[in-house]
Amino acid sequence: MKLWGGRFEKGTEGLVEDFHSSIRFDQRLYKQDIQGSIAHARMLGKVGVISEAEATQLIEGLNGILKDVQAGTVEFEIGAEDIHMNVEKLLTERIGPVGKKLHTGRSRNDQVALDLRLFLKSEIDQTKSLLAQLTQTLLKLSEEHLETWMPGYTHLQKAQPITLAHHLMAYVQMFLRDLGRLKDTRKRLNISPLGSGAMAGTTFPLDREQVAVELGLDGVTLNSLDGVSDRDFALEFLANASILMMHLSRLCEELVIWSSGEFQFISMDDGYSTGSSIMPQKKNPDVAELVRGKTGRVYGDLMALLTVMKGLPLAYNKDMQEDKEAVFDAVDTIQKCLLVVEPMLRTMQVHRDIMAFGAKGGFTNATDLADYMAKKGVPFREAHEFVGRIVLHCSKEGLGLEDLSLSDYQAISPIFEEDLFSSIGIEHCVRARKITGGPSPETVFEGIRLSRQALDEL
Ligand code: ARG
């Protein structure tokens, strides 16, 4: 007999039973479900909807179930559909008819909305701590590589010299924003929908605020229809997770490029690389590639839930049962990725000499040569044109800008003086960019300090 079986003349088809049951995946919410039920039961007793003694019996029964589920001794039933009815059924089996009072003034619709909020709240905390660890590692690496010169790129063509610290600190900024988004979402989801009932609230004098306080929530939802049909918080989380994965994916893509034989900027630790079944020489950056690949999964989770929610009339619809697998998959995927990227970065070997050598070629100091001329009074656009012609000449001769002599330069223009060569030295090009946000070691050092501060506040 179903908990809702009263108005039915025959049972659910076996096929349907299997089709609509969610216990296979929503049993993951058992802890939140039982916590919510305990808070609800305590409140029912306090406001006198049930007796205090009954409330105590319910709470003891629920705590017993919690313990047994944790010990792995509880078998859930497909026939009881979902985690909510499985727990209620177990409770009544264990403590008798008083168990049937638990669901007074409550619906699975507000119950599941609560469970998912509580679940996401703790998973956001976990995700934030993993992301903070990764950010710490990047900060530490940046500190070590303030003077590791490397080429910066646009269009994957050499652009201007920077440092590895400056490059890594770009990811720190991204991850600080990701942390901020997660914090923001957590704040918004931290309210209780219990009391919304099926969709129209309830006539029982429930103390919604007390339930919220017991569950560590900051308040209650203000519209019962919205309380049961809002999944914005899950979508926000999935959107945050997607943006975070996009950042991880870009970082991993760079690691793949940098570890290629053509670049050789870094070597991945053996522990974070894999080999080939046929080519004995291979050492592949599979971990970084897989993180890049898993980004697609998380985007898929976001798209899945956006599509489920699109066009649903208020209030609850069974479609919404599809929210959980998307959320679970995204949670698992981002946490696994964060967990593996941190040590992969920490253990990689940086080939400073090859990076510094790369910083030199490709006329990465051409902008500085044009700037030199502009500082001596040549209009920048004209200087740009001049330097372009010098680059063309040098590239034909296989020379760098620093390989021409002072008299070569003076033959082009009398403005060139001895200080030219120090102005276009790679190190100087980096050190002179002291502007806020720029790559000079002292600027990046200050950026690390400010970012550490920001991290502490997230
Ligand atoms: N298992 C359902 C879900 O995950 C719980 C809510 C069911 N409510 C209902 N009226 N069928 O969404």
Residue 3 has a pLDDT of 85
Q: Which domains does the chain have, with CATH numbers?
A: 12-104 (1.10.275.10), 109-144+152-204+218-353 (1.20.200.10), 358-443 (1.10.40.30)
Instruction: Give CA 315 to chain center in angstroms.
Output: 30
Provide φ and ψ at 158, rounded to 5°: -55, 135
Classify residue 142 as exposed, middle or buried by CB count within 10 Å of its CB (0-12, 13-18, 19+).
buried
- pTM, 2 dp: 0.96
Cβ atoms of 300 and 322 within 8 Å: the answer is: no
Say how many Å lie between the CA of residue 199 and the centre of ligand 1: 12
Q: Which of 260, 276, 413, 422 is catalytic?
A: 276
- Return the best residue to mutate from 24, 76, 112, 115 for the ligand 1 pocket (most ligand atoms within 8 A of CB): 112
pLDDT at residue 2 is higher than 90: no
Q: What tens digit of pLDDT does each residue of 126-166 get?
A: 999 999 999 999 999 999 999 999 999 999 999 999 999 99
231: Cβ contacts below 8 Å, ≥ 6 apart: 116, 305, 309, 320, 323
Say how many Å lie between the CA of residue 47 and the centre of ligand 1: 27
Say how many Å lie between the CA of residue 82 and the centre of ligand 1: 8
Say how many Å lie between the CA of residue 380 and the centre of ligand 1: 67
Say how many Å lie between the CA of residue 108 and the centre of ligand 1: 6
**Confidence tier at 1 by pLDDT (50, 70, 90):** confident
Q: What tens digit of pLDDT does each residue of 240-267 get?
A: 999 999 999 999 999 999 999 999 999 9
- Return the best residue to mutate from 23, 314, 318 for the ligand 1 pocket (most ligand atoms within 8 A of CB): 318
Which residue's CA is the nearest one to ligand 1's atom 2? Answer: 321
User: Which residues, judged by CB distance below 6 Å to any ligand atom, belong to the binding site of ligand 1?
Assistant: 22, 26, 82, 84, 108-109, 112, 316, 318, 320-321
- Percent share of the chain, pLDDT over 70: 100
Residue 127 has a pLDDT of 98
Say how many Å lie between the CA of residue 227 and the centre of ligand 1: 14
Ligand 1 atom with least separation from CA of 108: 6
Ligand 1 atom with least separation from CA of 26: 4
Instruction: Tell me the C-alpha distance between 89 and 94, whole Å.
Output: 9
List the structure tokens of 135.
């950010």
Q: What tens digit of pLDDT does each residue of 311-363 get?
A: 999 999 999 999 999 999 999 999 999 999 999 999 999 999 999 999 999 99
Q: Which of 155, 277, 405, 407 is catalytic?
A: 155
Say how many Å lie between the CA of residue 17 and the centre of ligand 1: 14
Which residue's CA is the nearest one to ligand 1's atom 3? Answer: 321
Which residue's CA is the nearest one to ligand 1's atom 4? Answer: 321
Ligand 1 atom with least separation from CA of 316: 10
Residue 5 has a pLDDT of 87
155 carries an active-site annotation = yes
- Percent share of the chain, pLDDT over 90: 97
413 carries an active-site annotation = no
Q: In whole numbers, what is the pLDDT of the chain averaged over residues?
A: 97
Which residue's CA is the nearest one to ligand 1's atom 12? Answer: 321
Ligand 1 atom with least separation from CA of 22: 1
Residue 186 has a pLDDT of 98
Q: What mean pLDDT is predicted for residues 48-73?
A: 98
**Confidence tier at 57 by pLDDT (50, 70, 90):** very high
The type of residue at 319 is D
Q: What tens digit of pLDDT does each residue of 398-430 get?
A: 999 999 999 999 998 999 999 999 999 999 999
Ligand 1 atom with least separation from CA of 83: 1
Residue 443 has a pLDDT of 98
